[in-house]
Every structure is written in C-alpha cells, then in structure tokens.
Amino acid sequence: MTQVPTDIRALRDQGILAIAWSDLKADLPFVFLRGQCECAHCVNEWTGERILDPETVPADISIEKLELVGGYAVRIYWTDGHHSGLFTWERLRKLAQGTD
C-alpha cells in the first residue's frame, strides 16, 4: 500500500524538499530531485535510458510550485521551466530511503 506523506514543502532558502510520512522524514536536495525526473523528456520511454545528464542540472535550481496530482503524486514546477515530470509518493519514498 502506498504511504501518503503527511507533509511536503519546498524549503527554497535551503534548496531542499522536506517530506514527512508518519514514520519517515527526508530532506531531498532540489538538484538531486531534478536529476531524478523520469518524464519522457528526461528518460527514454522505450529503453529506460536517462536522457537528462544530472551533471547539467544547475546547482541553484529551485522549485516554483508544487501541485498535487490525484492524491498519488506531486508535479514539480522547476525554475528551469521543466514541469512534465510527476513524482509519485512511492517514488519519493524510495528516494527518501535511498532504495531507488
């Protein structure tokens, strides 16, 4: 069963997305998260190969806004104009646990 976060907020002055579940808390750096985007622009849908080179993500990347999607994911509007990727709660939890 998917565990839904109890809190999620972009801490822009620290450059981290702070996520909390009832049993887990994580601070995910923006620059790391941006590099983990799995949308069709960042990952080849057919081969699973990463198109986006995480090295090219600006170190000062930030989040403009967060938009909840259908109660199962969040869409992140990045300051580089990218917003086609969704991060599901499941994926964020894996990233938070370092198991993805």
Report the candidate in 17, 3, 7 with the shortest Cα–Cα distance to residue 77.
17
Cα–Cα distance for residue pair 38/73, rounded to 1 Å: 13
CA gap 24, 37 in Å, rounded? 22
Q: Which is nearer to Zn ion, 18 or 82 (CB)?
A: 82
- At which residue do the structure tokens 């981290």 appear? 16
Which of the 8 DSSP states describes residue 54? Answer: G
Check residue 37 for interaction with Zn ion (CB under 5 A).
yes
User: Which is nearer to Zn ion, 5 or 85 (by Cβ)?
Assistant: 85
Residue from 18, 20, 39, 86 binding Zn ion (CB under 5 A): 39
Residues 66-85 close enough to bind Zn ion by CB under 5 A = 85
Binding status of residue 86 toward Zn ion by CB under 5 A: no
Q: Which spans of this chain sit near Zn ion (rule: CB under 5 A)?
A: 37, 39, 41-42, 85
